[in-house]
Structure 1
Amino acid sequence: MLKAQSNAAMRCFGMDTISLAGPLEAKLEAMKNAGFTQVMLKANDLVGHPGGLNAAVQAVRDSGLRGTGFQVLRDFEGLSGHLHHYKVDIAKSMLEMCSALGCKVLLACSSTSAHATGDVDQLAKDLRKLAMLALPLGIKIAYEALSWGRHVNEFPAAWDVVSRADCPNLGLGIDSYHIFATETSLDELDYVDPSRIFLVQLADFMWQEVKTPEERMATARTFRVFPGEGVHTPQLVELVLKLDALGYSGDYSFEVFNDDYLQMPLPMVADRARRSALWLAEDVLRLSVPLPNQMRLRTGPA
């Protein structure tokens, strides 16, 4: 991870395991060797481990990497009857795994289910229940608007739901890909309480527009690229600087789904992420603190 301090606010950049192929231990080693000190983990990292859940948790602990967060709870809010009870059970399992890893944030994506209501008060009620389940475990819920979400597909709508729920451990997950896909104005961030942004995920992609929900989904799941590699660099810079100006002091994670990267050696992919982290710190946020494994920044602006 690239870690630095500016204006008394910690800025942290980490990788997501979804960007790398291979076993969990190899992914963690590649990230650590690249200089990262945190990792965004997913449920498959645990349940797909050949040694089982406990072995996966131990591997993360042994790596020394801090868990940025745990993902992803899907299609939770807006359901009723047996579907709601089913999803509550799934949420409890996700929270247990999140807690076992020592992660402090569980990512929940806006529902795509055709069975989910769009009633905002009901969505808020369900997310309030989720937050209350997470509270005894010391876990925060980061609610993210998927750009193909059925009722909530932009972060201002997600913020409306979070505000109505009014729970201290329920906040937003901001994902640059979804913002660029829906062309949501960054001015809308002015209406968000930065202390309620619990996670920021950064990625870019290689074309200007993704016009349909189907195209957004396909691009999101197969061809994102690291910050600085795509065609939305000006918007990404604007987003990061906007969050910095608002006082966001939480983690940044590179959520980069890319089928090409899954065919590349782990050190090569981790080095691409490292270059993105250095670019964001040196050229965008102008940070200047020595980093692990010779990741050293320039002093002052270029």
Structure 2
Amino acid sequence: MNHTEGNIDDFGMDTISLAGPLEAKLKAVREAGFTQIMLSARDIVGHADGIEAAVAAVRSSGLRVTGFQVLRDFEGLSGHLHDYKIDIAKAMLEMCHMLDCRLLLVCSSTSTHATTDLDQIARDLRKLAMLAVPLNIRVAYEGLSWGRTINEFTTAWEVVCRADAPNLGLGFDSFHLLATQTPMEELEMLDTNKIFLVQLADFMWNEVRSTEEKIATARHFRVFPGEGVHSEALAQLVRKLHELGYRGDYSFEVFNDDYQQIPLPVVAQRARRSALWLGEDVLRRSVPLPNKMRLKNRSAA
């Protein structure tokens, strides 16, 4: 993966891989040659100078916001619990809109208070999608591998299809496919126009044997694509999605406690190597990176 140039425009970093204040994260990502970034609500509401300052920092960075995360345990609730989550969703959609971001990520519910009825889950997701329409925001629904009812992308896709809302689609995270060992052939059932985001990560062990281990690995021990033991599976996944027609964004969803303890530029360069590997070696794209010369000169220096 020793490249000096390449097309990484389709790949973006996530702030969850980096320690420090928002401005430092944005700077590290931009200087590594990325043009997009995935933001967390905590980046915005946790900013020392307030939400407006956080939004201003993102806009002045020049980075496009891939998406905004994450609305959890939203669907399948009733009564006051449903009303509460609707209020939370509205607040997150409003922040998403402030950032000029066009995508809100929603994770499948883990709540024991939520119904297992797929039709109600679909109705709730459709309601969320309708709330997002006036703000020109799309909703990406992701099946967590430890979700109570929706824990594979196949079931998440079924619910998205039942909801049948134009701005509701699938959020696809490679970690959960690897963790559940869902057959790659199942991807062929998907309409790639309804895949709104693909998140990529690797990890260091061959399998996860329990729900607890899935959660711990997902939240603390992910690594960038090509750094773990699932490189070939990830390469196969990206090639397969490309063959099926996916041309959307890829974001590195890498929760890693070790990366939180090393300098931001070091982490960002690790992500850049992964993007070059995927873009050049795996997809062999020929589209030039807009700031290729800047990166090439920096690498030569």
Structure 1 counterpart of 2:130: 132
What are the Cα deviations for residues 117-145 of structure 1, in whole angstroms up to 9, with x where unaligned? 01000000000000000011110000000
1:44 is displaced (CA, Å) by 0.3
* Mapped contact 2:6–2:280 kept (Cα < 8 A): no
Structure-2 separation of matches of 1:25 and 1:290 = 27
Structure-2 separation of matches of 1:293 and 1:93 = 38
Structure-2 separation of matches of 1:196 and 1:174 = 11
Structure 2 counterpart of 1:299: none
Structure 2 counterpart of 1:162: 160
1:35 corresponds to 2:56? no
Structure-2 separation of matches of 1:215 and 1:4 = 35
* Mapped contact 2:7–2:276 kept (Cα < 8 A): no
Residue identity in the other structure for 2:216: A
Residue identity in the other structure for 1:114: T
Structure-2 separation of matches of 1:267 and 1:38 = 16
Runs of 4+ in 1 over 3 A off after TM superposition: 2-5, 293-296
Residue identity in the other structure for 1:130: L
1:232 corresponds to 2:230? yes
Paired residues for 1:136-147 under 5 Å: 136-147=134-145
1:234 is displaced (CA, Å) by 1.1
Q: Which runs of 5+ in 1 are unaligned?
A: 6-10, 297-302
1:208 is displaced (CA, Å) by 0.6
- Select 1:119's aligned residue among 117, 124, 133: 117
1:68 is displaced (CA, Å) by 0.2
Structure 2 counterpart of 1:300: none
Does the residue aligned with 1:78 lie in a helix, a strand or coil?
coil
Structure-1 separation of matches of 2:277 and 2:286 = 12
1:288 is displaced (CA, Å) by 2.1
- Select 2:257's aligned residue among 256, 259, 266: 259
1:293 is displaced (CA, Å) by 4.9
Structure-2 separation of matches of 1:198 and 1:4 = 21
1:246 is displaced (CA, Å) by 0.6
* Mapped contact 1:75–1:111 kept (Cα < 8 A): yes
Structure-2 separation of matches of 1:186 and 1:107 = 23
- Select 2:286's aligned residue among 285, 288, 294: 288
Change over 3 Å in CA distance of 1:28–1:45 after alignment to 2: same
1:213 is displaced (CA, Å) by 1.0
Residue identity in the other structure for 1:90: I
Does the residue aligned with 1:106 lie in a helix, a strand or coil?
strand
Q: Which runs of 5+ in 2 are unaligned?
A: 297-301
Structure 2 counterpart of 1:190: 188
1:236 is displaced (CA, Å) by 0.3
Structure-1 separation of matches of 2:103 and 2:250 = 12
Structure 2 counterpart of 1:24: 22
What is the Cα-based RMSD across aligned positions, in Å?
1.3
Structure 2 counterpart of 1:8: none
* Mapped contact 1:34–1:293 kept (Cα < 8 A): no
The number of residue pairs the alignment matches comes to 290
1:287 is displaced (CA, Å) by 1.1
Normalising by structure 1, what TM-score?
A: 0.94
1:208 corresponds to 2:198? no
Structure 2 counterpart of 1:58: 56
